[in-house]
A and B are shown apart, each in its own frame.
Chain A
Amino acid sequence: MDNTIYKLPSGLRVRKEAFGLLFYNVKDTNLTFVRVDGDLIPDSLWEKGLIAPEGRGGKEDPKYLKILKELVKRGLLVETRISEH
């Protein structure tokens, strides 16, 4: 069975702000402000740099998945499939 995890790309840092997420790219020191409901994002993103499916009960929440997909589209997260045996 495959699971999807979302990771910060190499060189990106992120923190939670009242407006949502603030990303910082160590390769060019550029900032990206993303307005989202930061409470929907599990703490594991800023603590470990990844979001695993078990990291949040509401994984199937369409709003949450939409945010993740949008962040992937903008290059702020990387989607990876891992196999569970």
Chain B
Amino acid sequence: MKQEYLSTKTLSAPVNVTWEITGRCNLNCRHCLSAGTAQNHAGDMSLEQCRRFIDHLDRIRVFQVNIGGGEPFLREDILEILDYCHLRGIVTCISTNGVLLDNELAKKLARMPLTYVQISIDGATPETNDRIRGEGSYARALHGVDCLTRQGLKNLSINTVVVRVNFKEIHELYRLARFYGAKTRLSRFRPAGRAREAWQEYHLTKQQILELSAYLSEYKDVLTGDSFFSITAEDRKYLGLNMCGAARMTCCVAPDGSVYPCAFLQEGYFYAGNVLEQPLAEIWRRADSFDLLRNIEKEACMACPRFDLCHGGCPAVAFFLKQELNCPDPECIRQISEQE
């Protein structure tokens, strides 16, 4: 019902909104999707602008806001923003590098039942992680995990962008997360933002993609936060969304209020409007770039027996690697399997 509906119709509003709440960051990760995107952001929205935006999200009944950036905890008013969301019953999922987390902040977060926290760690060892995320970032992120665990935060996950250089450590990362009582979330590496420069060095080999798919089949408690459709095996079909949610269930709001179909498509070509100038509900209904995403027809995929599983995969990967949207996900597991 869900897939059938979403592939043909439009929801009245996004179910969740990815909100890059600040463009500032205290790390300089090599695969950052947000660095170097189309907008030279005019600056972050003010607290008052954020409140008005949250009021609107409440009115149009957005259920969840995924707060990222930049590093959200660089905003001094971040707790006020979270509180304001929660007062309206909106769930917040914060994606952080964990560097600024200490016991005091962790204690406040642990008292927020509607908050989920996701800390990024990209290697099971300091050597691997710091090579990607910067010197000392592993120890500081792990300290953040430790603080949140000690303070009893329930909804904690460790997120890893799977790349060639950390691939062999995925299971160790899984064990690390379990040690802290956290969930493991794996994200696909996509050539957006600064990651374009690192693509050749970091993207998974075909063999690694096959192995990753097998791993996900074995460890079904591993979350895949974004578009794993093209590399997901049949047995994980019902664990999550199996089609791209951009402009269908979700969209992305940049620090300056600019709206895009997803965080990986923050390109001028996909600009949909700005929430400081136009209500998000209107942008959602009327933006040409959203219509474009909703009407993608990947003809090459339609006869594929896996089409119901992935609907052609991630448009962002296709766009950045092939410069078009209507082509199959270049990391499609079926194509890879046939080639191997």
Chain A residues within 8 Å of B, Cβ to Cβ: 13, 15-19, 22, 24, 26, 29, 31, 33, 35, 46
Contacts and interface: CB of A to CB of B under 8 A. Distances in A.
B5 interface: yes
B63 interface: yes
Contacts of B116: 29
A31 B15 contact: yes
B36 interface: no
B64 interface: yes
Interface string B1-30: 110010001011101000000000000000
A19 B61 contact: no
B15 A24 contact: yes
A46 B15 CA distance: 15
B252 interface: no
A80 B1 CA distance: 29
Interface of B: 1-2, 5, 9, 11-13, 15, 61, 63-64, 89, 91, 93, 114, 116
Given A15-B12, A24-B64, 18 more contacts: A13-B61, A15-B13, A16-B12, A18-B9, A22-B11, A22-B15, A24-B63, A24-B91, A26-B89, A26-B91, A26-B114, A29-B64, A29-B91, A29-B116, A31-B15, A33-B1, A35-B1, A46-B61
B64 A33 contact: no
B245 to A, nearest CB: 11
A35 B339 CA distance: 41
A13 B63 contact: yes
B83 to A, nearest CB: 16
Contacts of A31: 2, 15
20 contacts: A13-B61, A13-B63, A13-B89, A15-B12, A18-B9, A19-B1, A19-B5, A19-B9, A22-B11, A22-B15, A24-B91, A26-B89, A26-B91, A26-B114, A29-B93, A29-B116, A31-B2, A33-B1, A35-B1, A46-B61
B5 to A, nearest CB: 5
Nearest to A18: B9
A4 B151 CA distance: 42
Contacts of A26: 63, 89, 91, 114
A24 B64 CA distance: 9
Nearest to B16: A29
